[in-house]
Amino acid sequence: WDQAATFYRRAIDANPAYPLAHFHIGRIYANQRKYALAIAEFERSLDPTTENTPAYLYALAATHARAGNRQRAVELLRDAKKAAEARRQNELAVSIDRDLATLERNP
Protein backbone atom coordinates (compact mmCIF):
# COMPACT_ATOMS: atom_id res chain seq x y z
CA TRP A 1 0.00 0.00 0.00
CA ASP A 2 2.82 2.36 0.86
CA GLN A 3 4.44 1.95 -2.54
CA ALA A 4 1.15 2.59 -4.32
CA ALA A 5 0.56 5.69 -2.18
CA THR A 6 4.03 6.93 -3.12
CA PHE A 7 3.20 6.67 -6.82
CA TYR A 8 -0.10 8.51 -6.35
CA ARG A 9 1.67 11.22 -4.32
CA ARG A 10 4.10 11.68 -7.21
CA ALA A 11 1.16 12.05 -9.57
CA ILE A 12 -0.34 14.68 -7.28
CA ASP A 13 2.98 16.51 -7.03
CA ALA A 14 3.00 16.71 -10.83
CA ASN A 15 -0.68 17.71 -10.98
CA PRO A 16 -2.27 18.74 -7.65
CA ALA A 17 -5.74 18.84 -9.23
CA TYR A 18 -5.70 15.14 -10.20
CA PRO A 19 -8.93 13.72 -8.73
CA LEU A 20 -8.19 10.09 -9.56
CA ALA A 21 -4.91 10.12 -7.62
CA HIS A 22 -6.61 11.69 -4.58
CA PHE A 23 -9.36 9.08 -4.84
CA HIS A 24 -6.92 6.17 -4.89
CA ILE A 25 -4.90 7.50 -1.98
CA GLY A 26 -8.19 7.93 -0.13
CA ARG A 27 -9.02 4.27 -0.81
CA ILE A 28 -5.64 3.20 0.53
CA TYR A 29 -6.12 5.21 3.71
CA ALA A 30 -9.69 3.95 4.15
CA ASN A 31 -8.49 0.35 3.86
CA GLN A 32 -5.86 1.12 6.48
CA ARG A 33 -8.60 2.60 8.70
CA LYS A 34 -6.95 6.01 8.56
CA TYR A 35 -10.32 7.64 8.13
CA ALA A 36 -9.36 11.28 8.68
CA LEU A 37 -6.66 11.04 6.01
CA ALA A 38 -9.00 9.16 3.68
CA ILE A 39 -11.73 11.76 4.10
CA ALA A 40 -9.29 14.57 3.32
CA GLU A 41 -8.15 12.85 0.11
CA PHE A 42 -11.70 12.01 -0.99
CA GLU A 43 -12.68 15.65 -0.47
CA ARG A 44 -9.79 16.71 -2.70
CA SER A 45 -11.01 14.27 -5.37
CA LEU A 46 -14.21 16.29 -5.79
CA ASP A 47 -12.55 19.25 -7.52
CA PRO A 48 -12.58 19.56 -10.43
CA THR A 49 -15.90 17.87 -11.09
CA THR A 50 -15.62 14.95 -13.47
CA GLU A 51 -17.75 12.05 -14.66
CA ASN A 52 -16.38 10.13 -11.66
CA THR A 53 -17.47 12.67 -9.04
CA PRO A 54 -20.59 10.69 -8.02
CA ALA A 55 -18.41 7.66 -7.24
CA TYR A 56 -15.95 9.85 -5.34
CA LEU A 57 -18.82 11.27 -3.28
CA TYR A 58 -20.00 7.73 -2.61
CA ALA A 59 -16.55 6.75 -1.34
CA LEU A 60 -16.42 9.85 0.84
CA ALA A 61 -19.84 9.02 2.30
CA ALA A 62 -18.88 5.40 2.94
CA THR A 63 -15.74 6.48 4.75
CA HIS A 64 -17.70 8.89 6.93
CA ALA A 65 -20.02 6.01 7.78
CA ARG A 66 -17.09 3.74 8.66
CA ALA A 67 -15.63 6.54 10.80
CA GLY A 68 -18.91 6.81 12.72
CA ASN A 69 -20.08 10.07 11.14
CA ARG A 70 -23.52 8.71 10.28
CA GLN A 71 -25.33 12.01 9.67
CA ARG A 72 -22.61 13.33 7.38
CA ALA A 73 -22.59 9.99 5.54
CA VAL A 74 -26.34 10.26 4.92
CA GLU A 75 -25.98 13.82 3.59
CA LEU A 76 -23.18 12.81 1.25
CA LEU A 77 -25.02 9.70 0.05
CA ARG A 78 -27.98 11.89 -0.90
CA ASP A 79 -25.65 14.22 -2.81
CA ALA A 80 -23.94 11.26 -4.49
CA LYS A 81 -27.27 9.78 -5.54
CA LYS A 82 -28.41 13.08 -7.09
CA ALA A 83 -25.09 13.42 -8.90
CA ALA A 84 -25.27 9.85 -10.20
CA GLU A 85 -28.86 10.30 -11.39
CA ALA A 86 -27.96 13.58 -13.11
CA ARG A 87 -25.27 11.75 -15.06
CA ARG A 88 -27.57 8.79 -15.72
CA GLN A 89 -25.30 6.47 -13.75
CA ASN A 90 -28.23 4.27 -12.82
CA GLU A 91 -26.35 1.29 -11.40
CA LEU A 92 -24.35 3.57 -9.13
CA ALA A 93 -27.52 5.37 -8.03
CA VAL A 94 -29.11 2.02 -7.11
CA SER A 95 -26.06 1.05 -5.02
CA ILE A 96 -26.05 4.40 -3.28
CA ASP A 97 -29.77 4.17 -2.61
CA ARG A 98 -29.32 0.73 -1.04
CA ASP A 99 -26.62 2.01 1.33
CA LEU A 100 -28.65 5.11 2.09
CA ALA A 101 -31.68 2.99 3.03
CA THR A 102 -29.50 0.87 5.33
CA LEU A 103 -28.11 3.92 7.13
CA GLU A 104 -31.55 5.50 7.45
CA ARG A 105 -33.00 2.27 8.90
CA ASN A 106 -30.23 1.86 11.46
CA PRO A 107 -29.77 5.12 13.32
pLDDT digits (tens, 9 = 90+) for 31-41: 999 999 999 99
Q: Which helix (H) or strand (E) holds 22?
A: helix 19-31
Closest to 41 (Cα-Cα) out of 54, 63, 26: 26
Instruction: Count the Cβ atoms, other than its own, within 10 Å of residue 39.
Output: 21
- 82-100 pLDDT tens trace: 999 999 999 999 999 999 9
- 56-84 pLDDT tens trace: 999 999 999 999 999 999 999 999 999 99
Query: With bands split at pLDDT 50, 70 and 90, how would you rate the model's confidence at 107?
Result: low
pLDDT score of 105 more than 90: no
- For the residues 10-17, what does the mean pLDDT come to? 94
CB-based contact 29:41 (threshold 8 Å): yes
> What average pLDDT does the structure give for the chain?
96
Q: What is the CA angle 81-86-91, rounded to 5?
A: 55
